[in-house]
Structure 1
Amino acid sequence: MVKKPVREHADANMTTRVVVRDIMNSPVVSASPQDSVRDIAQKMKSEKIGSIIVMDKDKPVGLVTDYDIVTQGVAKDVKPSALKASDVMQELRTIESQESITEAARLLRKHGIKRLGVIYKDRLVGIISASDVIAVTPDLVDVVSEKAGIIRGELGRPAGKVSGYCDECGEWSDLLQYDEGTFICEVCRGEAASPESP
């Protein structure tokens, strides 16, 4: 895994930024490189998931998907109990948890894959899939459209009713207020007590 700096959003005027950690699946379901494909398939079935992270001594070394099981096992008429995870796994590509879902979508498309491991402080903390990105896209478009309408003065209602991420603290709020090019939550405006940190 090569650690890269978090990419800044390409549009400096974009005030809605959903990051990978907001939609990732966690905790990670994993297996060892020596586990049989049969055991992995059973784990996928019981967990109702389409992929398993392969871990070797707490380090992610690969990914086994339902597609890998079909193409590397079933299609070749190899017994699942005779194959190990290391025989069918693919490279696990990763993304930092603070990256935007736009960057996640770009990486998924660039590499022609459907899943990315999510890294936080050099540790695998989750997984994000193409379907996760697609699932939030319609809502995100609605929020961006609403904010754009307020900025252009097209909506005849107060800006304090906008939902989204605060440009100051990055937390979600249903009470954002637009002021001088940014959307600020009620906490950062000093209108509510700041939540205690965990």
Structure 2
Amino acid sequence: MKVESLLANREPCVHAIDKSQTVEDAISMMADKHISALIVMDQDRPVGIFTERDVLKVHLKFPDKPFTNLSVGDGMTENLIVARMDDELSNVMSAMIQADIRHMPVLSEGRLVGLLSVRDIIQNYVGSLKAELHYLQDYVSRLEDAMHD
């Protein structure tokens, strides 16, 4: 399955924050929206990602500064690993595991169009496995019925 197919089955929703906003703003936004990652933007371009892990990193990097005095740009992860719409989900999952990340932005023609999480991909696989299991159970049941006829 391709990234495009997974994103087509859900409402497009990418939460973003400007890199000049404060870490406190980011924490509030993540808490309010019950999310764990924000795409960091600079003039409508994705330049990084800010996650729950980054909150801890920025606190350790600047232990004496309050979150109100730190910008998201001070603590974001800059080297974005991105997916494209035509990428296979299995390849995206492998890349996420290898990079030890839980969120991956999706770009199309240089524009941010989505944000995949490990949970999104796992839920998709679980759904596929459930459908396959149902099909196989039905198949076995028909075979058993045929053997008794």
Same-fold status (TM-score > 0.5): yes
Higher relative contact order (CA 8 A, sep 6+): 2
* 2:67 alignment partner in structure 1: 80
| 1:60 aligned to which of 43, 46, 63 | 46
* 2:15 alignment partner in structure 1: 29
Q: Does 1:110 align with 2:98?
A: yes
* 2:81 alignment partner in structure 1: 93
Task: Give 1:85 shift.
Answer: 0.9
Find the residue that maps to 2:128 and give its secondary structure: helix
* 1:129 alignment partner in structure 2: 117
Find the residue that maps to 2:65 and give its secondary structure: coil
CA deviation vs aligned residue, 1:152-172 (integer Å, no higher than 9, x gap): x75739xxxxxxxxxxxxxxx
**Counterparts of 1:92 and 1:26 in 2: how far apart (Å)?**
20
Counterpart code for 1:141: L
**Counterparts of 2:132 and 2:87 in 1: how far apart (Å)?**
18
The answer to whether the 8 A contact 1:23-1:128 is kept is no
Find the residue that maps to 1:26 and give its secondary structure: coil
TM-score normalised by the chain length of structure 1:
0.61
Q: Does 1:69 align with 2:55?
A: yes
Find the residue that maps to 1:156 and give its secondary structure: helix
Task: Give 1:125 shift.
Answer: 0.4
Between 66-75 and 39-48, the greater mean CA deviation after superposition: 66-75
CA deviation vs aligned residue, 1:127-166 (integer Å, no higher than 9, x gap): 001111122222212334566x5xxx75739xxxxxxxxx
Task: Give 1:71 shift.
Answer: 2.5
Counterpart code for 2:58: Q
* 2:35 alignment partner in structure 1: 49
- What 5-or-longer segments of structure 2 have no aligned partner? 144-149
Count how many residue pairs are aligned between Structure 1 and Structure 2: 137
Find the residue that maps to 1:46 and give its secondary structure: helix
Counterpart code for 1:107: A
- What 5-or-longer segments of structure 1 have no aligned partner? 1-16, 158-198
**Counterparts of 1:143 and 1:104 in 2: how far apart (Å)?**
22
RMSD: 2.4
The answer to whether the 8 A contact 1:95-1:119 is kept is yes
Counterpart code for 1:20: V
TM-score normalised by the chain length of structure 2:
0.79
